[in-house]
Amino acid sequence: MNELYKLIEEKIKAAGYPGEIDGREFYNDVSDEADEKENGDYIFLIKKTEELMYRGCMTIIDDQFDLHYVDILEGDNTYHVDFDA
């Protein structure tokens, strides 16, 4: 799993996000959004702080999720991270 967390961090940094990001925490936040949802496609919004939010799209299939993209919204800036690329 540590490789997955590192990959998440690398993709987010490659998208230009200048802030600190913890791959494990990010994964857990998105995973919590997926918990107990039925199979299907979902748009989600996670509010981390007053200035930091994650908006994204995922597909849930049984007990797994496939994160397609996330937009990190921080203040007036938006950083698009495409996890399908």
Q: Are 48 and 33 in contact (CB under 8 A)?
A: no
Nearest of 82, 85, 62, 61 to residue 72 by alpha carbon = 82
SS3 (DSSP) at 4: helix
pLDDT given for residue 63 in this prediction: 84
Tell me the CA distances in angstroms from 81 to 28, 31, 39, 53, one per residue in order: 17, 17, 23, 13
Instruction: Cite the DSSP H helix spans in 1-85.
Output: 2-14, 23-34
- Measured distance between the N- and C-terminal CA atoms of the chain, rounded to whole angstroms: 20
pTM of the predicted model, to two decimals? Answer: 0.91
Please list the ranges in the chain whose pLDDT falls under 70: none
pLDDT given for residue 43 in this prediction: 97
SS3 (DSSP) at 1: coil
Query: Cα(47)–Cα(6) distance, rounded to whole angstroms?
Result: 22
pLDDT given for residue 85 in this prediction: 85
pLDDT given for residue 36 in this prediction: 84
pLDDT given for residue 33 in this prediction: 93
pLDDT given for residue 1 in this prediction: 86
